[in-house]
Chain A
């Protein structure tokens, strides 16, 4: 049981390049999400998904795309990288809100992205 796995751990991109951050979980969680963390600003929600084929926007979705073709995977695509997207990106997953007392909310270890 690996939990939430994010790859790569570090990445440097040039302005205008595109790339995909990978996120996979093996806990059969229905809910998955992407956050970015900038210094002094906490975490901000980019996109989330409540199941395969269902995605929705968070607080800061511009410049990012997501898809959810399987329960396990939730990749985040940067369409045309900009220096403002330099950040640490975290993926998280949990069970759906169905009256549980604990949803098993689990974060990956993060991807540190620098755009130059």
Chain B
């Protein structure tokens, strides 16, 4: 099955800093999602991004499907951005495979 690798595994930022999270996947995909899991365990969908670029406020995502990677950009980070960020590509019908995540801590 598809293999998913996320980097870096851990990231510590000062409030206001920018960051880029990377997701590499081993096979072609027909969809890809980014999720944020907050420190209380709640999972929130951030983006559906099978290809191209999308932006939502301070967050944006880019997927280059032909090169099998996706990037999540966080600008002007805030303490509320802390948590774990997961990418989940989908290589078949509805089978989303999660990476092990990037754990982000934003310091005030």
Contact = CB atoms under 8 A, between A and B. Distances in A.
Answer whether A and B are interacting partners: yes
B93 interface: yes
A109 interface: yes
Given A43-B86, A101-B48, A102-B48, A48 B41 contact: no
B1 A31 contact: no
B43 interface: yes
B101 A42 contact: yes
Nearest to A107: B43
Interface string A84-110: 000010101000010001111111011
Contacts of A50: 93-94
A84 to B, nearest CB: 19
A105 B33 contact: yes
Task: Please report whether the interface of chain B is mostly helix, strand, loop or mixed according to DSSP.
Answer: loop
B97 A107 contact: no
Contacts of A109: 41-42
A106 B42 contact: no
B95 A48 contact: yes
B45 A45 contact: no
Given A97-B94, A103-B48, A42 B43 contact: no
Given A59-B1, A90-B43, A97 B86 contact: no
Contacts of A104: 45
A42 B99 contact: yes
Interface of B: 1, 4, 30-31, 33, 41-45, 48, 86, 88, 93-101
14 contacts: A31-B94, A33-B96, A35-B98, A42-B98, A45-B97, A48-B95, A50-B93, A90-B43, A97-B30, A103-B48, A106-B45, A107-B42, A107-B43, A109-B42
